[in-house]
């Protein structure tokens, strides 16, 4: 304040006063910007990226010509994984200070990752023509060589793709994407190669990446939706096509596909609700409608037939019982009801029906096999039934099993319990849930279990080694590993 008063007293005119006030304002702004820069640097060093970013934003606003403010902000963006935001700041740095070699080298590296090869090469060449440090010169030369190699591979990959040599093109694109891992065009082409090769899950991975790398990538969401649809995952298909319509409500392909998926999804949900309500005739009609809605995708026809079979077997028990009241020795009806009981996991009732049928038809092979199956399943159910542990049907698909597992694992994770006794009980329950998921999502182990053999029981293995033996007492399984719990929900 004293300094301000002193200077004011020295001002001899209005013009001097205005000039003085302007000088003071600039001096004050410089001080504020310096404070923001200093605080931003400290927060960046401490790893507090969001707070550091706020200070560098303020520094840029306070002095739009401060190239260091842009450079520091770009550094924070890169630390946060926001390369798109870093690029304009690095360009501004180079505009304000063309000889800032470090910024130009960083921009070249980012451009290379985004697959902008010509622009990247231009930056690397300018770095080499400036006065770089030995380290910068070595890096620029290395990246320039790599960029030239990628340029050659891009030409070869496009040629392979045009010649429909998708395996070779995918291999070439693998090498390109190792360096240009944010290159949308290369990922889109590789996704198309995977689609042509029938490797749909790999295509999904690339398309998901492109949907994030390009903000308005409606085509990626459309392709994702159609792939999921053709794989039989109507719920994921619906989710992806909705993302497309969020970006562009008038997208013709997405809107048309959305109407189809929404209709199919609604029919399947309604059919399942009818089964839960034991309205089996209505459920059968609804699943027949599913097959008419989508007659060309095998997954939906198979799902519909499976669920129709379930609905009919559930309905068969009361109908067969009515027949047997009038004709208790009807072998065919006894066999049908026994099989329906098996489907409903009522094994004791199934055994009784098969035994009764066997009394009237001793040499019937179907009765003998059905009885053995029911007895085996009963014995299995009296031990440990992995289907019951997860609360799923024996016909459950992998997706249903994983969904049930995640829900139960969250509920029974021991970390949710404080009381020692409750925690101990939860741990046992959690191990059972993890074992059930392990068995039922592995085709070989599930087949063994369905044949009456418990893959998690060392005694039932008859001396054969199984992958979890010896880790958790006689149970042979420990989902926690050693030490504290570190549970993650898996997708496989």
pLDDT one-digit tens code per residue, 299-336: 998 888 878 877 777 777 887 888 889 889 898 889 88
* 472 pLDDT above the threshold of 80: no
Dist CA 453 CA 445 (whole Å): 9
Instruction: Tell me which residue of 200, 172, 182, 218 sits closest to 78, measured CA to CA.
Output: 182
- Containing 482, the helix (H) or strand (E) segment is none
Which of 27-41, 194-208, 362-376, 470-484 is predicted least confidently?
A: 470-484
The pLDDT of residue 13: 57
pLDDT one-digit tens code per residue, 207-262: 999 999 888 999 999 999 999 999 999 999 999 999 999 999 999 999 999 999 99
Task: Give the CA distances from residue 461 to residues 207, 302, 376, in Å, rounded to whole numbers and listed in that order.
Answer: 43, 33, 16
pLDDT one-digit tens code per residue, 57-116: 998 988 899 999 999 999 999 998 888 899 999 999 999 999 999 999 999 999 999 999
**Dihedrals φ, ψ of 98, to 5°?**
-60, -20
**Dihedrals φ, ψ of 474, to 5°?**
-70, -20
The pLDDT of residue 467: 42
Dist CA 413 CA 411 (whole Å): 6
* Domains of the chain (ranges, CATH numbers): 2-97 (1.25.40.10), 392-492 (1.10.287.110)
pLDDT band at 426 (very low <50, low <70, confident <90, very high): confident
pLDDT one-digit tens code per residue, 191-209: 999 999 999 999 999 999 9
Q: At CA 346, angle to CA 340 and CA 352, rounded to 5?
A: 85
* 474 pLDDT above the threshold of 50: no
Nearby residues of 236 by Cβ (< 8 Å), 6 or more positions away: 228
Which of 98-112, 202-216, 415-429, 457-471 is predicted least confidently?
A: 457-471
Give 3-state DSSP helix, strand, coil % of the chain, rounded to 5.
75, 0, 25
When pLDDT is averaged across residues 416-431 and rounded to a whole number, the result is 85
Dist CA 379 CA 230 (whole Å): 39
Tokens representing 479? 């989902």
Which of 23-27, 217-221, 361-365, 399-403 is predicted least confidently?
A: 23-27
* 478 pLDDT above the threshold of 70: no
When pLDDT is averaged across residues 463-471 and rounded to a whole number, the result is 41
């Amino acid at each position: 304040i004293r300094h301000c008063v002193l200077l004011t007293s020295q001002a001899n005119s209005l013009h001097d006063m205005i000039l003085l006030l302007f000088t003071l304002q600039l001096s004050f702004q410089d001080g504020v910007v310096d404070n923001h820069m200093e605080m931003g640097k400290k927060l960046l060093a401490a790893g507090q990226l969001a707070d550091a970013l706020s200070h560098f934003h303020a520094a840029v606003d306070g002095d739009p010509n401060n190239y260091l403010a842009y450079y520091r902000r770009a550094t924070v963006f890169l630390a946060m994984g926001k390369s798109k935001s870093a690029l304009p700041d690095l360009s501004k740095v180079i505009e304000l200070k063309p000889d800032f070699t470090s910024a130009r080298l960083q921009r070249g590296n980012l451009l290379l990752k985004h697959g902008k090869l010509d622009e990247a090469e231009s930056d690397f060449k300018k770095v080499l023509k400036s006065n770089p440090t030995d380290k910068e010169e070595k890096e620029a030369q290395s990246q320039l060589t790599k960029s030239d190699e990628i340029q050659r591979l891009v030409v070869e990959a496009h040629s392979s793709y045009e010649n429909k040599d998708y395996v070779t093109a995918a291999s070439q694109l693998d090498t390109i994407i190792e360096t240009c891992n944010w290159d949308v065009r290369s990922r889109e082409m590789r996704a198309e190669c995977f689609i042509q090769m029938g490797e749909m899950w790999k295509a999904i991975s690339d398309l998901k990446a492109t949907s994030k790398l390009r903000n308005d990538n409606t085509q990626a969401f459309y392709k994702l939706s159609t792939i999921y649809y053709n794989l039989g995952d109507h719920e994921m298909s619906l989710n992806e096509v909705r993302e497309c319509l969020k970006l562009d409500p008038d997208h013709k392909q997405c809107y048309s596909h959305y109407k189809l998926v929404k209709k199919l999804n609604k029919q399947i949900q309604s059919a399942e609700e009818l089964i839960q309500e034991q309205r089996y005739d209505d459920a059968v009609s609804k699943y027949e409608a599913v097959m008419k809605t989508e007659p060309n995708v095998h997954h939906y026809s198979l799902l519909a037939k499976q669920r129709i079979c379930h609905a009919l077997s559930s309905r068969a028990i009361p109908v067969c019982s009515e027949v047997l009241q009038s004709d208790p020795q009807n072998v065919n009806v006894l066999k049908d009801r026994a099989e329906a009981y098996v489907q409903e996991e009522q094994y004791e009732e199934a055994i009784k029906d098969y035994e009764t049928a066997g009394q009237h038809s001793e040499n019937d092979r179907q009765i003998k096999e059905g009885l053995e199956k029911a007895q085996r399943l009963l014995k299995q159910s009296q031990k440990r039934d992995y289907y019951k542990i997860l609360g799923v049907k024996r016909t459950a698909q992998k997706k249903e099993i994983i969904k049930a597992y995640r829900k139960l694992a969250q509920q029974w994770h021991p970390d949710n319990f404080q009381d020692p006794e409750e925690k101990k009980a939860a741990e046992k329950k959690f191990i059972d849930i993890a074992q059930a998921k392990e068995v039922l999502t592995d085709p070989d182990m599930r087949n063994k279990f369905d044949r009456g053999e418990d893959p998690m029981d060392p005694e039932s293995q008859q001396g054969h080694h199984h992958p979890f033996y010896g880790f958790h007492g006689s149970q042979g399984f420990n989902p926690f590993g050693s030490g504290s719990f570190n549970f993650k929900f898996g997708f496989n």
